[in-house]
């Protein structure tokens, strides 16, 4: 982090995945008058419901420092079809690097956990080959990934962002559709609604 601060063409981010449930409610507290209370209605999944019970999402809490040492912070999100895996992770990394390029940065330092799709041979090989190509051609965005200590989610600053966002999008007595849920999540993070990353096609 200290090194990234000294390099205005570097971006630094903490990465994580989460699942946004359409059925379960997050832990939360609400103030109410003594004779009133907020009742959360438990939702059930019906067989005729076309939407999944939960939606998976990749996220990066990213920041960089401008020339005047002003800190710029953003959250970059991509929802995925199904669950995270090596193929979707590679698509996601390609998208992150394009976002980094559009931010006019040359290096993305990324910290993430020990999820199997982070450490898979396919993902590690893709990162090596990508950085080798960038170095050889002297163009492109370098990706420098680092692993968090095992079982230490409290070291990842994006974790509390997930918690607060889930509390903000909750609906006490209504089951949201997948479209409604994604729209609310995107609104919380002040982001446009983007297409899902799909296993069936290489979506950037």
The correct answer on CATH 3.30.420.10 for the domain covering 2-24+51-188 is: yes
CB-CB contact of 64 with 25 (8 Å): no
Which of 107, 105, 113 has its CA nearest to residue 144?
Answer: 107
Give CA–CA dist 190/183, Å, rounded. Answer: 10
10 pLDDT higher than 90: yes
Show the beta-strand stretches assigned E in the chain: 10-21, 54-65, 71-80, 107-112, 142-147
**pLDDT above 90 coverage of the chain, percent:** 67
| DSSP-derived 3-state class of residue 61 | strand
**pLDDT above 70 coverage of the chain, percent:** 83
Half-sphere exposure of 54 (CA within 13 A, CB side): 13
pLDDT score recorded for residue 85: 97
What is the Cα 36 distance to its own chain's centre?
A: 36
What are the extents of the domains in the chain?
Answer: 2-24+51-188
CB-CB contact of 109 with 96 (8 Å): no
How would you classify the pairing of strands 107-112 and 142-147?
parallel
Q: 29-81, pLDDT tens digit by residue?
A: 544 555 655 555 566 666 767 788 899 999 999 999 887 678 899 999 999 99
Give CA–CA dist 204/198, Å, rounded. Answer: 10
pLDDT score recorded for residue 35: 61
Indicate the burial class of 58 (C-beta count within 10 angstroms; 0-12, 13-18, 19 or more). buried
Q: 88-132, pLDDT tens digit by residue?
A: 999 999 999 999 999 999 999 999 999 999 999 999 999 999 999
């Amino acid at each position: 982090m200290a090194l990234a601060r000294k390099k205005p063409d570097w971006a630094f981010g903490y990465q994580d995945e989460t699942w946004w449930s359409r059925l379960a409610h997050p832990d939360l507290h609400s103030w109410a008058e003594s004779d009133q209370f907020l009742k959360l209605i438990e939702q059930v999944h019906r067989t005729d419901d076309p939407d999944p019970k939960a939606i998976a999402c990749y996220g990066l809490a990213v920041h960089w420092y401008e020339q005047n040492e002003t800190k710029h912070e953003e959250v970059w999100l991509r929802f995925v079809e199904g669950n995270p895996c090596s193929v979707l992770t590679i698509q996601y990394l390609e998208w992150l690097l394009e976002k980094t390029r559009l931010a006019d940065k040359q290096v993305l330092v990324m910290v993430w956990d020990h999820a199997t799709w982070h450490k898979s041979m396919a993902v590690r090989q893709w990162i090596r080959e990508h950085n080798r190509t960038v170095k050889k051609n002297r163009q492109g965005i370098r990706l420098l990934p680092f692993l968090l200590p095992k079982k230490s989610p409290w070291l990842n600053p994006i974790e509390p962002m997930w918690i607060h966002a889930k509390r903000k999008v909750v609906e006490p007595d209504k089951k949201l559709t997948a479209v409604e849920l994604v729209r609310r999540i995107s609104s919380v993070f002040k982001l446009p609604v983007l297409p899902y990353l799909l296993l069936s096609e290489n979506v950037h």
